[in-house]
Amino acid sequence: MKKLLFFVLVFVQFAWCMERQPNADYHVRREKLAAKTKGGAVLLFAAIEADGPNAVYGFRQDNNFYYLTGWRQPGAALLIVPASPEKPDSPARPYTEILFLPNHNYVQEKWTGPKLGPEDANARSITGFDKVEVLDNLRIELVNLLASRTPVFTDIVTPDDSSTSTEAIEWLKRANAFPLGTSFQDVRPLLSSLRTFKDDGELELIRKAADASTAAQLAAFKNIKPGMGEQEVSALLQYEWSKRGCERPAYAPIVGSGFNSTVLHYSDDDGPIKDGDLVLMDAAGEYSMYASDVTRTVPANGKFTARQREIYEIVLGAQEAAIHAFQSGKSTLRGNVPDSLYKAAFDYINTHGKDSHGQPLGKYFIHGLSHYVGLAVHDDGDYNIPVGPGMVFTIEPGIYIPDEKIGVRIEDDFYVNRDGKLINLTGNLARTPDDVEHAMATK
């Protein structure tokens, strides 16, 4: 009974409000990263709990640290050391990975809640690490485990770098934790190449972020009317995706009406919505650390004008052109080159419609077409390779004509499945002008 109570207490204390993939998924990533270092060690630090004006949404883990550990508490460290063969002065040692947790700071825990301490008997099963140690042991473990000339892969390599690892690495260098001649290598390109391809668990979380976000957008469609403020629409969007499990917006929500619809990263969201305006909503939630990124543009009064509809249809045509041009393993996301989806969308815009001076519209498409989506809304990833299975990215053409107070962007999140098929994760939300008007009219 006592034992049962103990487990119940532990479970309650460390139950995940947010979802987390099985420990094995994070372990697989650590092994893949270790293989990419070709015999190097990996040393990374978690984010630190910080107060202040930028901590509006509270603590959020560093993306790379989270990707490798699934660990959402502050102040931890990750060390991976490759296997080493037997040498005259040392025995053989297997591949080793250690999660270092800080000792309890009970004063801080009064403010921000209980944390898992390294002394906890369940620390290994909770975190999925065979070895969990107190952070104070990191220096001595480095001294013991790092063979001379083992490159250390981390995210602070040049004097310009700044990351969650900066202060700790500098301290460890001063404390002679690394053998003489240790070289520091950049772990970020290796992590980027892994993060380019989402596993099934990641895809599931992105799907949930996308579903909550499209439901929120639909709620906004049904509520927008002239006389409302952009702020109220932003509040509604945030309430609706939070209600569906998102912990925060995936980025600063953009609700721009009239002229504001032409401002790409408008985030004041404090203007009035007037009759005849278009309202551009680039707004989506983050679900269990994973982003989505959705834009729809709707008429404030529920009916597009002829000119708004004309521009809207060109943007939609450009999105369709990119979707149709897609070929798994061949298409690229960027550049004005033959296989680029950007080129397919740009060419469509530049050959359809005219501005008020009779000029082509290409010059009003002033941003890129696509970026990866994952732990970050503009996710790390390799942009030099063709897109294929496992990749998640946006297709988001837009036309912005400030003189006409017309800004239209349509943005959806896409996934390439194992068969190389392009799946629109946000395509259940109305996209055609008729469907948008119909969704707005249906209460």
CB of 385 to ligand GLY, least distance (A): 20
Q: How far apart are the first and last CA of the chain?
A: 53
Q: Does 213 bind Mn ion (CB under 5 A)?
A: no
Interatomic CA distance for residues 175 and 27, integer angstroms: 29
Q: Give the CA diameter of the chain.
A: 82
178/312 with CB nearer Mn ion: 312
In the complex, what is the shortest distance from the CB of residue 136 to ligand GLY, in angstroms, rounded to a whole number? 41
Closest C-alpha to 106, from 96, 95, 117, 94 = 117
If the CB atoms of residues 118 and 249 are measured against ligand GLY, the closer one turns out to be 249
The reply to whether 379 sits near ligand GLY by the rule CB under 6 A is no
Q: Which is nearer to ligand GLY, 168 or 284 (CB)?
A: 284
Provide, rounded to whole angstroms, the least separation between the CB of residue 284 and ligand GLY. 7
Among 97, 293, 412, 437, binds ligand GLY (CB under 6 A): 293
Residue 133 Cβ, how far from ligand GLY at the closest point, in Å?
40
266 binds ligand GLY (CB under 6 A): no
Site for ligand GLY contains 396 (CB under 6 A): yes
Closest CA to 369 of 390, 403, 339: 339
Half-sphere exposure (Cβ direction) of 434: Cα atoms closer than 13 Å: 0
Burial label for 140, CB within 10 Å (0-12, 13-18, 19+), is exposed
Q: Give me 130's structure tokens.
A: 């065979």
Q: Measured from the CB of residue 323, what is the shortest distance to ligand GLY in angstroms?
A: 17
Q: Work out how close the CB of 404 gets to ligand GLY at its nearest, in angstroms, rounded to a whole number.
A: 22
Restricting to residues 269-308, name those near Mn ion by CB under 5 A. Answer: 282, 293, 295
Closer to ligand GLY by CB, 34 or 391: give it: 391
Per-residue x/- track, 355-374, ligand GLY (CB under 6 A)? ----------------x---
Task: Confirm or reject binding of residue 348 to ligand GLY (CB under 6 A).
Answer: no
- 413 near ligand GLY, judged by CB under 6 A: no
| Strand (E) or helix (H) holding 297 | strand 295-299
> What 3-state DSSP class applies to 229?
strand
In the complex, the smallest distance separating the C-beta of residue 370 from Mn ion, rounded to whole angstroms, is 8
Q: Closer to ligand GLY at the Cβ: 72 or 371?
A: 371
Quote the tokens at residue 106.
């009970």
The string over 50-86, giving b where at least 16 C-beta atoms fall within 10 Å of a residue's C-beta and e elsewhere, is eeeeeeeeebebbbbbbbbbbbbbbbbbbbbbbebee
State how far the Cα of 318 lies from the Cα of 334, in Å rounded to an integer.
15
Unique residue bearing structure tokens 């400030």: 402
Tell me: does residue 282 bind ligand GLY (CB under 6 A). Answer: yes
The site string for ligand GLY over 231-260 (x = CB under 6 A, - otherwise) reads --------------------x---------
* Contact between 226 and 274 (Cβ < 8 Å): yes
> Of 97 and 282, which CB lies nearer to ligand GLY in the complex structure?
282
C-beta of 82 vs 397, nearer to ligand GLY: 397
Least distance to ligand GLY from the beta carbon of 55, Å? 22
Q: How far apart are CA 413 and CA 399, in angstroms?
A: 19
131-134 and 96-101 beta bridge pairing: parallel
Q: For binding to Mn ion (CB under 5 A), which residues are involved? A: 282, 293, 295, 394, 411
Q: For binding to ligand GLY (CB under 6 A), which residues are involved? A: 251, 282, 293, 371, 377, 396, 411
